[in-house]
Amino acid sequence: MSYSNIIFLKDVKSEFRTRVSFNTQLLFTITTLSIILFAVGNESISIPTTISFYWIVSIFAAMSGLSRVFVKEEERGTFLFLFQLASSQSVFIGKLLFNAIFTILVNFFILILFSLFIDTFSANLFFILVMILGSIGIASVSTIVAAIISKVNSSTTLYTVLSFPILIPLLMTLIQASQLSIEGAFFSEMRGHFSFMIGYNISLILISLYLITYLWSE
Amino acid sequence: MRIIKYTTIFLITIQIVLGISFPLVAKPEHFWQFPIVIGLEEKIRNVIFHVPTAWTATIAFTMSLVYGFLYLQKKDFNYELKSIASAELGFLFCILATVTGAIWAKFNWGSFWNWDPRQTSIFILLMIYSAYFVLRSSISEKVKRARISSVYSILAGVTVPFFIFILPRITSGLHPGSKGDTEGAGPIVQFKMAPNMLTLFFIGLIGFTLLYFWIFNLRYRLLVLENKNESEE
Amino acid sequence: MDFFAQNQMYIVLSITLAIWIGVIFYLFKIEKKLNNLEKRN
Amino acid sequence: MKIYSLLADKISKTFNSQKIFKNVSFNAFVGNSIAITGSNGSGKSTLLKILLKYIHPSKGDVKYFCDNKEIESQIIYQNISFVAPYFNLYEEFTALENIELAIKLKSKYISNDLINDELNRFSLFNHSKKEVGHYSSGMKQRLKYCIANILKSDFIFIDEPTSNLDDEGKKIVFDFLKEIQSTSCLIYATNEKDELQFANEIVDLSLLNLN
pLDDT at residue number B133: 94
A161 shares contact with chain B (CB less than 8 Å): yes
Residues in chain D within 8 Å Cβ distance of B140 = 16
CB contact under 8 A, A214 and B151: yes
Separation of CA D23 from chain center? 22
CB contact under 8 A, D58 and B143: yes
User: Does residue B146 lie within any of the structural domains?
Assistant: yes
What residues have CB less than 8 Å from A39, skipping those under 6 apart?
Answer: none
A13 shares contact with chain D (CB less than 8 Å): yes
CB contact under 8 A, B231 and D17: yes
CB contact under 8 A, A169 and B162: yes
pLDDT at residue number A169: 85
Question: Are B55 and B201 spatial neighbours (Cβ–Cβ below 8 Å)?
Answer: no
Report the candidate in A80, A93, A67 with the shortest Cα–Cα distance to residue D90: A80
D59 shares contact with chain B (CB less than 8 Å): no
User: Does residue B34 lie within any of the structural domains?
Assistant: no
Across the interface, of A6, A17, A218, the residue whose CB is closest to D54 is A218
CB contact under 8 A, A207 and B131: no
pLDDT at residue number B188: 41
The radius of gyration of chain C's CA atoms, rounded to the nearest angstrom, is: 18
Instruction: Say if residue A85's pLDDT is above 60.
Output: yes
CB contact under 8 A, C17 and B225: no
Restricting to C residues 5-34, those with a Cβ less than 8 Å away from any Cβ of B are: 9-10, 12-13, 16-17, 20, 24, 27, 30-31, 34
CB contact under 8 A, A165 and B156: yes
| Structural domain count of chain B | 1
What's the one-letter identity of residue B5?
Answer: K
Across A149-153, B41-45, B108-112, C14-18, least confident range: B41-45
- What interface predicted TM-score (ipTM) does this complex get? 0.87
CB contact under 8 A, D16 and B141: yes
Instruction: Say if residue A209's pLDDT is above 90.
Output: yes
D88 shares contact with chain A (CB less than 8 Å): yes
Q: Report CA-CA distances (Å) from B233 to B80, B140, D18, D210, D211.
A: 20, 17, 9, 14, 13
Higher pLDDT, B38 or D199: D199
At B71, the pLDDT band (50, 70, 90 cuts) reads: very high
Query: What percent of chain A clears pLDDT 90, i.e. is strictly above it?
Result: 35
At C41, the pLDDT band (50, 70, 90 cuts) reads: confident
Identify the bridge partners of residue D159 per DSSP, sorted by sequence position.
D189
- D-interface mutation test, from A1, A85, A88, most D Cβ less than 10 A away: A85
The domain that contains D195 carries what CATH number? Answer: 3.40.50.300
Residues in chain B within 8 Å Cβ distance of A208 = 155
Question: Are B14 and B203 spatial neighbours (Cβ–Cβ below 8 Å)?
Answer: yes
* Full-model pTM: 0.87
At B63, the pLDDT band (50, 70, 90 cuts) reads: very high
Across A22-26, A42-46, A107-111, B26-30, least confident range: B26-30
Across the interface, of C12, C13, C34, the residue whose CB is closest to B222 is C34
CB contact under 8 A, B218 and C24: no
Across A46-55, A129-138, B59-68, least confident range: A46-55
pLDDT at residue number B190: 45
Query: Cα distance from B118 to chain A (closest Cα, Å)?
Result: 13
B167 shares contact with chain A (CB less than 8 Å): yes
Residues in chain B within 8 Å Cβ distance of C35 = none
Residues A58-87, mean pLDDT to the nearest whole number: 87
Query: Cα distance from A181 to chain D (closest Cα, Å)?
Result: 42
Tell me how crowded residue D137 is: count the other CB atoms within 10 A of its CB: 12
User: Does residue B20 lie within any of the structural domains?
Assistant: yes
C2 shares contact with chain B (CB less than 8 Å): no
CB contact under 8 A, A80 and D102: no
CB contact under 8 A, B141 and D17: no
Query: Cα distance from B40 to chain A (closest Cα, Å)?
Result: 31
pLDDT at residue number A147: 92
pLDDT at residue number B68: 92
| Structural domain count of chain D | 1
pLDDT digits over B93-147, tens only?
999 888 888 888 888 777 777 777 778 888 888 999 999 999 999 888 888 899 9
CB contact under 8 A, B21 and C37: no
pLDDT at residue number B106: 81
CB contact under 8 A, B142 and D56: no
Residues A43-60, mean pLDDT to the nearest whole number: 85
Residues in chain B within 8 Å Cβ distance of C13 = 16-17, 20-21
Instruction: Say if residue B44's pLDDT is above 80.
Output: no
Question: Are A81 and A160 spatial neighbours (Cβ–Cβ below 8 Å)?
Answer: no
- D-interface mutation test, from A84, A88, A91, A217, most D Cβ less than 10 A away: A84
Chains that touch A (3 or more CB pairs under 8 A): B, D
Question: Are B72 and B147 spatial neighbours (Cβ–Cβ below 8 Å)?
Answer: yes
Q: Output the average pLDDT for chain D.
A: 87
pLDDT at residue number C1: 58
pLDDT at residue number B41: 67
Residue D57: give the domain boundaries.
Answer: 4-208
D16 shares contact with chain B (CB less than 8 Å): yes
Cα separation of D177 and D194, whole Å? 12
Across the beta sheet with D201-204, the strand order is: D80-83, D155-159, D185-189, D34-37, D201-204
B117-137 vs B77-109: helix axis angle to the nearest 10? 150
Report the candidate in B106, B111, B117 with the shortest Cα–Cα distance to residue B178: B117
Query: Cα distance from B151 to chain A (closest Cα, Å)?
Result: 6
At A145, the pLDDT band (50, 70, 90 cuts) reads: very high
Burial class (CB in 10 A: 0-12, 13-18, 19+), A111: middle
CB contact under 8 A, C10 and B9: no
Cα separation of B8 and D120, whole Å? 78
CB contact under 8 A, D15 and B141: yes
Instruction: Say if residue D18's pLDDT is above 70.
Output: yes
Residues A158-183, mean pLDDT to the nearest whole number: 87
Q: Report CA-CA distances (Å) from A64 to A69, A71, C8, D204.
A: 11, 13, 56, 47
Query: Cα distance from A196 to chain B (closest Cα, Å)?
Result: 10
Residues in chain B within 8 Å Cβ distance of D14 = 231
Residues in chain B within 8 Å Cβ distance of C41 = 225, 228-229
Residue B111: give the domain boundaries.
Answer: 2-26+40-232
pLDDT at residue number B186: 45
Restricting to A residues 190-209, those with a Cβ less than 8 Å away from any Cβ of B are: 192, 196, 200, 203-204, 207-208
Q: Output the average pLDDT for chain C.
A: 83
Query: What percent of chain B clears pLDDT 70, i.e. is strictly above it?
Result: 79
Question: Are B71 and B80 spatial neighbours (Cβ–Cβ below 8 Å)?
Answer: yes
Chains that touch D (3 or more CB pairs under 8 A): A, B
What burial letters (b/e) apply to A69-93, b meaning 16+ CB within 10 Å? Answer: bbbbbeebebbbbbbbbbbbbbbbb
User: Does residue B220 lie within any of the structural domains?
Assistant: yes
Nearest chain B alpha carbon to C27: B215
B127 shares contact with chain A (CB less than 8 Å): yes
Question: Are B8 and B211 spatial neighbours (Cβ–Cβ below 8 Å)?
Answer: yes
3-state SS of chain D is CCCEEEEEEEEEEECCCCEEEEEEEEEEECCECEEEECCCCCCHHHHHHHHCCCCCCCEEEEEEEECCEECCHHHHHHHEEEECCCCCCCCCCEHHHHHHHHHHHCCCCCCHHHHHHHHHHCCCHHHCCCEHHHCCHHHHHHHHHHHHHHHCCCEEEEECCCCCCCHHHHHHHHHHHHHHHCCCEEEEECCCHHHHHHCCEEEEHHHHCCC
Cα separation of D120 and D122, whole Å? 5
Domain boundaries, chain A: 3-216
Residues in chain B within 8 Å Cβ distance of C12 = 20
Nearest chain D alpha carbon to A215: D54
pLDDT at residue number D210: 54
Query: Cα distance from D58 to chain B (closest Cα, Å)?
Result: 9
Chains that touch C (3 or more CB pairs under 8 A): B
Query: What percent of chain B clears pLDDT 90, i.e. is strictly above it?
Result: 30
* ∠ CA D181-D184-D188, rounded to 5°: 65
